Amino acid sequence: WQEAAALLAEMEEAQVRKDTSSYNCMMSVCGRASIADRAVALLSGMRAENVHPDVVTYNSCISTCERTGRWDAALLLFHEMTSVDVLPNTITYNTTMSALGKAMQWELVFELLDRMVEQTVQVDTLTCNS
């Protein structure tokens, strides 16, 4: 992940504009390294640079939080994305519910499941296993 962070810094030094795709790549690296705080910081950095996160960005960040036991951060990110008009998809719901389930936050899991059905987001096998 440090090499990816160095590449992002080099882009900055060379005054290459970072876009959503470059941030998404870095988010993915943070996810594989299980570095939730860095992923959340990258998301904040995107907004500061007026780069708009998309559903892939949020899914990567939520997934990293899920892997590291940060269910509270995963839930905050879920609510944040809906407040900035990024629509959660099946992956978003499944990952957030998995984070909540691992923390035994069952009431919140069922609230999200209800919301998922209300929003007509496709429920799949992973949803039922979350």
Who contacts 54 (Cβ-Cβ below 8 Å, separation ≥6)?
20, 24, 86
Q: Report the run of H or E that residue 118 belongs to, with start and end.
A: helix 106-118
**CA neighbor of 74 nearest in space, from 29, 43, 48:** 43
Chain Cα centroid distance, residue 2: 20
Chain Cα centroid distance, residue 99: 12
> How far is residue 105's CA from residue 88's CA, in Å, rounded to a whole number?
20
Tens place of pLDDT per residue across the chain (130 aa): 566 566 666 666 777 677 888 888 887 887 777 777 888 888 888 888 889 999 999 999 999 999 999 999 999 999 999 899 999 999 999 999 999 999 999 999 999 999 999 998 888 776 666 6
Cα end-to-end distance, the chain, whole Å = 28
Query: What pLDDT is stored for residue 44 in this prediction?
Result: 87
SS3 at position 77 = helix
Helices (H) and strands (E) in the chain, counts: 8, 0
